[in-house]
Structure 1
Amino acid sequence: MSYIWLTRILLFAVVLVAARKGGEPERLTAAVLLSTFVLDLVNHAVFGDPVWYAVNPGHVVIDSWAFCALLSIALYANRGWPLLVGAGQMIVMVGHVAKLWDLTMARRAYWVLTQMPFLLQLMVLLIGTVAHMNRERRIGPYQCWRWA
């Protein structure tokens, strides 16, 4: 239970910092991570609590959407940290594929592969936002996106 509350408190704190102090890539990444949290709540309200001995289709859909969104941000942002957030989401997708491939995969391993990268993503977003704030203070406003 403490993991759930730690994650929620950290999510809201990091989203608040990114929304107030971050550039567009930080705000978009925060919006994607917050959206996955809200969509997960809706998923559980509609379909019930997850069972870790089978793949949850709602989680697969939410995580696939998040992977596409985070990958797009990572490819075009004028920063390096979004690649780590996208890599965290790739770990989540690998967890779903591994569970689909082998349904006897241990429940704890599936949970770790699909839930723990979220903390990594939040920490990377926070570090990226702080780096953006420092860079902007040091050199002033700069280009958020690279289009080449």
Structure 2
Amino acid sequence: MLELLASEYRTYAQDIVVIAVCGAALLWGGAPERIIAASWLIFFELTGLIYKNFIRSEGYQLQGVDAFLATTDFLVLVIWVIVALYANRNYPLWIAGMQLLAMTAHLARGMSEAISPIAYLFLIVAPGWFQLIFLAAGVSRHVMRKRKYGEYRSWRYVRNAVKLDLPGERKKSWSALLSKRKVVAQDEAR
């Protein structure tokens, strides 16, 4: 596998695997799988093609870090962390963790010039392969679970979640909220 990471055909091989895995996720996956696959296709494949063909220039380098790639990695990190926190699956945590590793590579490259370009490339490319493996495993587990047990929920439900105060709503103090909970608890006890 290490030869594939250093090969000139790496991008073609990864594109084939991406199309297969993301296509399977879009066809047979639940909402978390579809969000992860769609964000991969939009942020890495589509914007990657646009960047490679129309935007790429040496002027977008900041401290040796490609600002466009770092920005797309950060946006995908935010999306995948949100999916990982609320999905009723475990593998999105691993995918988000791998994306955090890739994002950390951008930060390390920006802070230190001593990082070799090969190490920087490896820290950005290698997590993508693991993310595809985790997504493929997650889609296959989803399909097997769905066949065995039928439909199941895609998202975790949080009990006693704090409701956010939206603009225009009347805000209550913490003491008013706590006293209201005590009254409700006393009514339930009766």
Q: Quick one: which of 91, 95, 109 aligns to 1:99?
A: 109
Instruction: Could you tell me which runs of 5 or more consecutive residues in structure 2 were left unpaired when the two chains were aligned.
Output: 1-7, 159-190
Alignment match of 2:40 (pick from 30, 33, 44): 33
Taking the aligned partners of 2:40 and 2:57, their CA distance within structure 1 comes to 21
1:15 touches 1:30 (CA, 8 Å); kept in 2? Answer: yes
Query: RMSD of the alignment, in Å?
Result: 1.6
| 2:98 aligned residue | 88
Provide the rounded CA distance (Å) in 1 between the counterparts of 2:52 and 2:113: 21
Higher relative contact order (CA 8 A, sep 6+): 1
Is 1:58–2:107 an aligned residue pair?
Answer: no
Choose the corresponding residue for 2:131, options 95, 98, 121. 121
Letter in structure 1 aligned against 2:46: V
- Using the size of structure 1 for normalisation, the TM-score is 0.94
Corresponding residue for 2:173?
A: none
Gaps of 5+ in 1: none
The partner residue of 1:147 within 144, 149, 157 is 157
State which of 141, 145, 169 in structure 2 corresponds to 1:131.
141
Take 2:67 and 2:51, find their aligned partners in 1: how far apart are those partners?
9
- TM normalised by structure 2 equals 0.74
Moved over 3 A (4+): 48-51
Q: 1:44, CA displacement in angstroms?
A: 2.3
* Residue 14 of structure 2 is aligned to residue 7 of structure 1: yes
Identity %: 29
- Aligned residue identity for 1:47: R
Q: What is aligned with 2:29?
A: 22
Larger radius of gyration: 2
Aligned AA for 1:137?
Answer: R
Given that residues 71 and 86 in structure 1 are in contact (C-alpha distance below 8 angstroms), is that contact kept between their aligned partners in structure 2? yes
